Amino acid sequence: MTGTQLWALLPLLLATGAIVATMLAIAIYRHHRFCASVTVVGMNFALLAVAYDIFFGGNQTVVVTGLMTIDAAARLGMGLVLVTSLGVLTLCHAYFEGYKKNREEVYLLIGLGTLGALTLACATHAATLLVGIELLTLPMIGGVAYAMNERRSIEGGIKYLILSAGASAALFFGVALIYAQVGALDIASLSKALAVASVDQPLVLAGAAMMLAGLGFKLSLVPFHQWTPDVYEAAPTPITAFLATVSKLGVFIIVLRLFHYGSSPVSPVILTAVVGLSLASMLVGSLLALRQNNLKRLLAYSSIAHFGYLSIVLVVPGDDALRAAGVYLATYLVTSLGVFGVMALVSSPMGERDAEHIDDYRGLFWRRPYLTSILTAMMLSLAGIPLTAGFIGKFAIIAAGVGDAQWLLVGALIVSSAISIYYYLRIVAALFAAVAQGSERVTESLGWAQSFGGFMLLFAMIVMLYLGVYPQPLYLLSGQLAVH
């Protein structure tokens, strides 16, 4: 292996080193703050390596054997993964301060999941796809079931294990069927197979359908979404944040490679199926969210709708769709991290249950004005209100859909977004609801651990508003997602 290849792999090596260091820290000196610091420092070094390559390294494409390629798209994906993971790790420190059992292993689980997402960002072979998806999924099963004293947490972990195993089996059996036809397992060959899938090639068509089902499960697309609200509700809030952001980001990057790898468009049969999944996800996600009083379940259905919006870029060919995908992913990640971050800080230190019902947030402004202002801004962004990052993300997707005359999908996006305004503003209204006389204003106090989470959320809100007002740098950076 050459020096250039080792340098290109440096972010993954540093992330792996952070995981090993966390394991040693747990074994040698079990201390919550120390173990959290070891993981965060290691992931920060990995992020610095990615940032250097993006801004100063020339963004050259480096092929690391036939399994991984470090190109501009991989670096951008790794950067988004690491930034979001660091945000989740910051929330974990405050959230798990009150946990009475061992807390340090959660950083190991999140580190392993992050490494899986980094692997997917660079994957150019089905073997790397397998390793990345399992490395991303298996630690999160433990993460969902981390609160072992809660029955629903164990139930959620078992449910996620069984359903995720079924989805992975479908995905890789589909890869095997395509391999039986084309005799290759690299992503380029799989992408070409998707381009020619038809009834004349039953093995390829069946394999493509099974791959679509497996990946649709990972992205919570309808009708493969049933696990999402139950698992989101059962998991500790920082783990829910990881599932909603990093897990889906890693999988969507590899989906982009499959659908946009070469110049050949994907088969009309596959595109029709994707259009159906996208339409169902947008409408079903938004309509089911209307009925929810549990904020975690509401956000679960909301994420289903959001990845329905994002699936439009899989149907639209060309670099404009890839640029729109990058913009939407960045705006969704910063906004979702802000929402779940506020939930984590309101719920911390970890008690008998999270603050997850809308009634728990009624009148929150009078108790926690700082966190309420952040949550309000993030909800407006999820709703796509102008001057927020969410509006820019939806605008980019709509522009891509209009450019390719995907009027059905664009219309469904607009209808779904209109529906979503109701349930997002319903939460905002609850935040400012009147409370009993004499309890209007309570001095907000953040502990040492919560202060870091509070500063991180303030930074996320500033970034969200900045992108909503001046999105040009994000458009330029997202252009790196063009893969050929």
Residue 327, CA distances (Å) to 75, 299, 384, 399, 400 in order: 15, 20, 13, 12, 12
pTM of the model: 0.93
On the 0-12 / 13-18 / 19+ scale of CB atoms within 10 A, 333 is: buried
- All residues at 6 or more sequence positions from 466 whose CB lies less than 8 Å from its CB, including other chains: none
Query: In terms of C-beta density within 10 A (0-12 exposed, 13-18 middle, 19 or more buried), how is residue 441 classed?
Result: exposed
CB 467 within 8 A of CB 334: yes
Q: Is the CB of residue 25 less than 8 Å from the CB of residue 35?
A: yes
CA–CA separation, 443 vs 11, rounded Å? 42
Smallest CA-to-CA distance from 442 within 371, 351, 375, 359 is with 371
H/E stretch holding 69 reads strand 68-70
Residue 445: the pLDDT is 52
Q: How far is CA 335 from the centre of its chain?
A: 11
What is the DSSP secondary-structure string of 319-367?
Answer: HHHHHHHHHHHHHHHHHHHHHHHHHHHHHPSP-SS-S-BGGGGTTHHHH
- The CA distance from 312 to 274, in Å, is 8
384 with 259: CB under 8 angstroms? no
The phi, psi pair for 138, rounded to 5°, reads -60, -45
DSSP 8-class letter at 30: -
Walk along the chain (484 residues) and give the pLDDT tens digit of each residue. 788 888 889 999 999 999 999 999 999 888 888 888 999 999 999 999 999 888 877 678 888 888 898 888 899 999 999 999 999 999 888 888 777 778 889 999 999 999 999 999 999 999 999 999 999 999 999 999 988 777 888 999 999 999 999 999 999 999 999 999 888 888 888 888 888 887 788 888 899 999 999 999 999 998 998 899 999 999 999 999 999 999 999 999 999 988 887 666 778 889 999 999 999 999 999 999 998 899 999 999 999 999 999 999 999 888 888 899 999 999 999 999 999 999 988 886 655 667 888 888 888 888 888 889 999 999 999 999 999 999 999 999 999 999 888 999 999 999 999 999 999 999 999 998 876 555 454 445 555 456 777 888 999 999 999 999 998 888 888 876 664 4
Give the CA dihedral 33, 38, 43, 49, nearest 10 degrees: 140
**What are the structural domain ranges in the chain?**
3-481
Q: 120: how many CB neighbours lie within 10 A of its CB? A: 29
Q: Which of 46, 50, 42 lies closest to 18 in space, CA to CA?
A: 42
Give 253-316 as a DSSP string: HHHHHHHHSSSSPPPHHHHHHHHHHHHHHHHHHHHHHTT--BHHHHHHHHHHHHHHHHTHHHHS
What is the rounded distance in angstroms from the CA atom of residue 446 to the CA atom of residue 455?
A: 11
The pLDDT score that the predictor gives to residue 435 is 67
Give pLDDT, residue 443: 46
In the chain, what is the greatest distance between 2 CA atoms, to the nearest angstrom?
A: 74
Which amino acid, 278? S
